[in-house]
Structure 1
Amino acid sequence: MSDPYVLVLYYSRHGATRDMAKYIARGVEQSGIEARVRTVPAISANCEATEPTIPEQGALYCSEADLAECAGLALGSPTRFGNMAAPLKYFIDGTSSLWLSGTLIDKPAAVFSSSSSLHGGQETTLLSMMLPLLHHGMVLAGLPYSESELLSTTTGGTPYGATHVAGQGSRALDETEINLCIAQGKRLGKLALQLQA
C-alpha cells in the first residue's frame, strides 16, 4: 500500500487556478501528508481533437486511480458563468464507477476557484463543484472564519473555499489569497490524516 496523499485536481486555462493549486499543495504538505497535483485535459467541440497522453507542461493528467486512491481531494476550477469549467465537469462525470463502489465515501474534500471579477460567480462555482462530491459521499471542508484574512480580504476568499480575482487573467494572487490557499491545504491535509486514522 502506498503512502497516503491528498489529490489536488484542477483545470486551468490561463494559469491562475494552477497557481492556486500549487499553494494549496504547499499547505497540504505542511500538514504532513503528500500532495499529488493533477490536471485534466481540455475538451473540444471538434470530435477529432485529441490531447497528448502527457501534457507539454504543468501537472500530469489525473487518472481514475489517482482519484480512487487519494486520502483527500482539493478540486479547483476557473469560473464559467457561475459554474465549473467543462473539462473538469467532463472528468467528474466519468467517475460513476467510483460512485458505484463507494470509493470516495468519508474522504475529506475542498474546492477552490478563480474568476476575472469579484462578482464573477466564485461562490456558485464552488457550490457547483461541491454537488458531485456530496453525491460521492465525501466530507466537505470549507475555510473557517478562524482564518482572520477572510474578514479582511478585498479580493478572493470565501468560507466555501479559497478564491482568486484574476482581473481578466493578468492579476497574480495577492498575499491574502495565497495565505488562504495555504490554510485550506493545511486544513484538508490535517483532516485527511485524521479521517484515515
Structure 2
Amino acid sequence: MSAPYILVLYYSRHGATADMARHIARGIEQGGLEARLRTVPAVSAECEAVAPVIPEQGAPYATLDDLRHCAGLALGSPTRFGNMAAPLKYFLDGTSSLWLTGELVGKPAAVFTSTASLHGGQESTLLSMLLPLLHHGMLVLGLPYSESALLETKGGGTPYGASHHAGADGKRPLDEHEIALCRALGKRLADTTRQLEVSRG
C-alpha cells in the first residue's frame, strides 16, 4: 500500500492560484505528508478542441484516480463572478462515479482562491467550491481565528479557506499573511489527515 498523500488540485491561467497551491503544498509537507500538485485543462468553446495530455508547463492534469487514492484534498480556483472557474467545475461534474461508490466520504478537504479585487467574491467562491465536496461526504476544514494572520491580514484570508488579492493585473505577489495562511491551511489538512489515518488504522 502506498503512503498517503494529499491532492492539491487547482485551476490557474495565471500564477496567483498556482503560487498559493505551492505554499499549501509546503504546509502539507511541513505537516509530514506528501503533497501532489495537479491541475485541470481549460474548457474550450470549440467542440473538437483537444488539450495535450500533458500541459506545457506547471502541474500534470488530474485524473479521477488522483482523487480516488488521495487521503485529503485542497481545491483551488481563481474567482469567476463570485464562483469557481468553469474548468474546475467541469472536472468536478465528472466525478459522479466517485460519488456513487463513496470514494471521497470521510476524507478531509479545504479550499483556496485568488481574486483581482479585494472584495471580488473570495468568500462566495470558497463556499461554491465547498458544495461539491459536501455532496461527496468530505470533511471540510477552514482556518480558525487562532491563526493570527487571519486577524492581521490586509489582503486575502478568510475562515472558509485561504485567499489572495492578486490585483487587477494578477501580478501582486502573495504577502506574508497570505503565505502564512496558505501554509497553515496545508499543515492543518496534513495534521487532520494523519490523525484520521491513525484512527482508521
Alignment TM class, shorter chain as reference: over 0.9
1:25-174 paired onto structure 2 within 5 Å? 25-168=25-168, 169-174=170-175
Q: Return 5+ residue gaps in structure 2 as ranges.
A: none
Q: Return 5+ residue gaps in structure 1 as ranges.
A: none
CA distance, structure 1, for counterparts of residue 174 and residue 64 of structure 2: 30
CA distance, structure 1, for counterparts of residue 36 and residue 85 of structure 2: 21
CA distance, structure 1, for counterparts of residue 60 and residue 23 of structure 2: 17
Letter in 1 for 2:24: I
Letter in 2 for 1:115: T
Once the two structures are superposed, residues 121-179 of structure 1 have per-residue CA deviations (whole angstroms, 9 ceiling, x without a partner) of: 00000000000000000000000001011111010000000000000202011111011
- Identity among equivalent positions (%) equals 73
CA distance, structure 1, for counterparts of residue 107 and residue 48 of structure 2: 37
Letter in 2 for 1:194: Q
> TM-score, structure 1 length as denominator?
0.99
Letter in 1 for 2:144: P
Letter in 2 for 1:139: L
CA distance, structure 2, for counterparts of residue 37 and residue 14 of structure 1: 16
How far off its partner does 1:49 sit? Answer: 1.4
SS of equivalent to 2:46: coil
Tell me the residue number matched to 2:3.
3
How far off its partner does 1:50 sit? Answer: 1.2
Letter in 1 for 2:107: K
- How many pairs were matched up? 197
CA distance, structure 2, for counterparts of residue 188 and residue 196 of structure 1: 12
> TM-score, structure 2 length as denominator?
0.97
Letter in 1 for 2:160: Y
CA distance, structure 1, for counterparts of residue 97 and residue 152 of structure 2: 42
Letter in 2 for 1:126: L
CA distance, structure 1, for counterparts of residue 96 and residue 197 of structure 2: 23
